[in-house]
Chain A
Amino acid sequence: AQTVTQSQPEMSVQEAETVTLSCTYDTSESDYYLFWYKQPPSRQMILVIRQEAYKQQNATENRFSVNFQKAAKSFSLKISDSQLGDAAMYFCAYKVGSGNTGKLIFGQGTTLQVKP
């Protein structure tokens, strides 16, 4: 069975600094999707970044980038130039299988605190 593990329950970063959130997963599949979602204190979860496993290039969205290590089954999120609005809970997620149901498996979450 696929699993997703976020080993850092809480992280903190100084405003304008860089922080990396860790995620590892376990799967026997070769093609899959990985996601990072952000849940601000208001609770509406939004997608931060998406990575397709067959793409070797790491995904980037403005200040957010990933370090995707397929062999190591690692998918970390780097936030550069951290802003107060980045404070949230971050979830790593894996899309199950090749079908179109869109089922995701989520990690336990990492709460990020941004200090002014």
Chain B
Amino acid sequence: DVKVTQSSRYLVKRTGEKVFLECVQDMDHENMFWYRQDPGLGLRLIYFSYDVKMKEKGDIPEGYSVSREKKERFSLILESASTNQTSMYLCASTDPGSHHEQYFGPGTRLTVT
């Protein structure tokens, strides 16, 4: 069964802290994505990776960075968390062979105080 897991369901951090959000997929997918979900805005792409150590900026990369050292793991890093980064973060993965269906993790609700 296809599975994408995220390290935390809920996270509370203070302004200025460095925050790591981890995502792991067990499907050997090449492509992985980080989105943030905000009411009325849908899902917006932060970063994606199409191979190990390869990454591309999405639509809203400012304030974020990513790391993909292994194929199954894609990390989102908030270098210095700010209150406007309070949001739901969703990780997803896909593969050309899956007809572009994206498989999503359960999400991490991040609150920055």
Contact = CB atoms under 8 A, between A and B. Distances in A.
Interface of A: 4, 6, 9, 33, 35, 37, 42-47, 50, 91, 95, 100-104, 106-109
B106 interface: yes
Interface residues of B, number: 28
Interface string B52-64: 0000101000000
A102 B106 contact: no
Contacts, number: 61
Contact of A103 (B45, B95, B104, B107): B45
Nearest to B104: A45
B106 A44 contact: yes
A108 B96 contact: no
B22 to A, nearest CB: 17
A100 B100 CA distance: 8
A95 B42 contact: no
Contacts of B48: 101, 103
Given A47-B101, A102-B96, A42 B42 contact: no
B50 A101 contact: yes
Interface of B: 30-31, 33, 35, 40-45, 48, 50, 56, 58, 88, 90, 92, 94-96, 99-102, 104-107
Contacts of B102: 37, 45, 47, 102, 104
Q: Which of B41, B56, B95, B102 has the most CB of A within 10 A?
A: B102
B43 A106 contact: yes
Given A33-B100, A100-B96, A102-B94, A43 B88 contact: yes
A43 B4 CA distance: 13
Contacts of A43: 88, 106-107
A109 B44 CA distance: 12
Contacts of A6: 42
Contacts of A4: 42
Contacts of A44: 104-107
Contacts of A108: 40-42
Contacts of A107: 42
A108 B43 CA distance: 7
